Structure 1
């Protein structure tokens, strides 16, 4: 990447700082987009689930499963962000 290449000097010290900084930036982007997508999906799935439960209360368990699947996206993003942060 150009930011990484621009930071390289003779000792390599600056390159290490750039690598760490870009890793932290990647962690922030990972959790940010995962949370944004999960929030949009959770709003849509929850609205649909409430409509289904209002008509057929016996389908409550199935609707919760769909909401859990959407929430898993945010958890995966958090795991990736933590892995990038600790790298």
Structure 2
């Protein structure tokens, strides 16, 4: 949504947004933002730690790497993977 173009919300075409027009503008702006933020939040807080623990269990059986991964506490491993997911999300935002 292009927030610089508020003309679509100016129903009475007077060049100004009155209280009701502004309220509708804010509702639309926050609804779109909330949807985008919610998806990223779910990925960051739920999917990334779950994926981290699943990959940790899978790599514990790999010779050489498994011993090192097994020694890393779950909380630290999940935090590292979650931080990597956040960094990937941020780098993807820069591309858009």
TM-score if structure 1 supplies the norm length?
0.51
TM-score if structure 2 supplies the norm length?
0.47
- 1:83 paired residue number: none
d(CA) in 1 for partners of 2:36, 2:22: 21
d(CA) in 1 for partners of 2:33, 2:9: 20
- 1:12 paired residue number: 17
Bigger relative contact order (CA 8 A; separation at least 6): 1
Gaps of 5+ in 2: 87-96
d(CA) in 1 for partners of 2:38, 2:28: 15
Gaps of 5+ in 1: 74-87
1:34 deviates by 0.9
d(CA) in 2 for partners of 1:4, 1:43: 42
- Aligned residue pairs: how many? 71
SS of match in other structure, 1:12: coil
Structure of larger gyration radius: 2
Structure that is richer in helix per residue = 1
- 2:93 paired residue number: none
d(CA) in 2 for partners of 1:27, 1:43: 25
Could you say if the C-alpha distance between residues 41 and 7 of structure 1 is closer, same or farther in structure 2, counting changes exceeding 3 Å?
Answer: same
